Amino acid sequence: MAARTGTAHVVTTTRTYKDQVYRTHLLRRSYREDGKVKNETLGNLSHLPDELIEIIRRSLQGETFVPVASAFQVTRSRPHGHVQGASAAMAGLEMASLLASKPCRERDLVLAMVAARIVAPHTKLATTRWWHTTTLAEDFGVASCDEDDLYAAMDWLLERQDRIQKKLASRHLSAGALVLYDLSSSYFEGSCCPLAKLGYSRDGKKGLLQVNYGLLTDARGCPLAVSVYEGNTADSTTFMPAVHKLRED
């Protein structure tokens, strides 16, 4: 008896019994015998996962499948998830429109610095080096910028501080709302900052120069305004200016 030859293929049959649908996947080969086309069942594939059955079906039809690792060559891989997380949080806070109503280079730089500060705090110079190890520089369109650009963007931001704080107050405060205020300090390394003075150290760094800063927040602790003072400024002398500023805003 001649050996049976023919092309193997997958046949799927469907039947319904008592409102249940049953599918059977069979591996078959068609061959011709005595002038008639006959089918030979080579195996039952029904126990296999659907995706594997589909691969077998398409492979028998002539398609070629290769492992993913063999199909692609990784030329560069950079972290993105943490950048996307920070970016999404900033978008949820509508930070871009808070800084400026229209897109501009300075706004992009400030947003990039905020995201970088959240993900990996560094100096301005180190930040411009670090963000090229992630997708941050490309995502925010600042890949060609250096530390001088960041300092210039900080100057731009300082000029807009009052407008930004008024927007924050309008967004988060209503008439008669509770407002919180506190004065804190941070020690300072260096000798060129005119605000750096010896004063009452709140972070346990006695004998070091420091800078004081007062923070206004709403009842939830959401920042509304910040003011910076010389390191030897007493708490009591900063409170009323903060109240007057709040009333003006």
> What Rg value do the Cα atoms of the chain yield, rounded?
34
In this predicted structure, the answer to whether residue 230 has a pLDDT above a threshold of 80 is yes
- Contact assessment for residue 119 and residue 125, using Cβ atoms and an 8 Å cutoff: no
- In the predicted model, what is the mean pLDDT of residues 30-43? 85
Chain segment 74-90, per-residue pLDDT in tens: 788 899 999 999 999 99
Cβ contacts of residue 51 below 8 Å, gap of 6+? none
In this predicted structure, the answer to whether residue 3 has a pLDDT above a threshold of 60 is no
- In the predicted model, what is the mean pLDDT of residues 218-231? 92
| Amino acid present at 80 | H
Only one residue has tokens 């300092």, namely 151
In this predicted structure, the answer to whether residue 246 has a pLDDT above a threshold of 50 is yes
